[in-house]
Each structure stands twice: as C-alpha cells, then as structure tokens.
Amino acid sequence: MTNRYAVAVVTLAGALALITGVAFWFGAAANLVSLHMLLGFLTVAGLATIAIAQALSAGGSWILAVIALLIGATTIYVGMNQASMLPGENHWLIQIGHLILGILSIGVAHMAVARLRRAAAR
C-alpha cells in the first residue's frame, strides 16, 4: 500500500517538476523555482521510500534499491548546485543531465514498484 502512494507521489510531483523545469528553459515561470525544488524533493523522497521497500522486501533487489538511492541523491545534488556547475555556453549540458536524472527517478520508481508487485503476486 505504501508503494502505491509513493509511486503516485513520484509520478505527480515528478511530472510537475519536469513541467516547471522545462518552463524555466523557455524563460517562463522563473518565480516557481521554490515550487520546482519542492516537487523535486517530493519526487526523490517517494523514490527513497520505494528503494527502502525494495531493499527490505523478500522479492526486492538490493542492487535496484542502491541504484534508486544513488539516482535520487545525484538528482538532488545536481539540482541544488547546477547554477555553479559548468557556467557559460555549455551550461545546457548540466541542464540536460538534470533532466535525464529527473526522468530516471520517475522511471526507476515505476520499475521498482512493478518488481515488488510481481514478487507479491508469486
């Protein structure tokens, strides 16, 4: 049951974080940076919850749990520090990396929950 709520939080918060992040790229919604950061934290918190369930579950995978936690931690680190990372004309590389990490966070969360559901059905 916890995984169902956690993956819902990851999906909703992650999608809204992606939307606000893309809006920043196009110069819109600059006043929503705090909301974007909150949504990112919620996404990673949901991913961490799922990763812990993955590690503690009988059908779970420690490797998947560690990967999920590393992706979440890296997403937060890059998001919090991206303004000072690779400034100048190549800053878009950091932005693309942060976008990829955000998408990975959502994808890994769904993959981990699907694995837990399959394990529970056996």
**Range of 58's domain?**
2-121
- Residue 84 CB: number of other CB atoms within 10 A? 9
φ, ψ dihedrals at 29, nearest 5°: 60, 35
Q: What is the pLDDT of residues 41-92, one digit of tens each?
A: 999 999 999 999 989 988 788 999 999 999 999 999 999 999 899 888 998 9
| pLDDT grade for 100, boundaries at 50, 70 and 90 | very high
Q: Say how many domains are in the chain.
A: 1
Q: How far apart are CA 18 and CA 22, in angstroms?
A: 6
- Residue 13 CB: number of other CB atoms within 10 A? 22
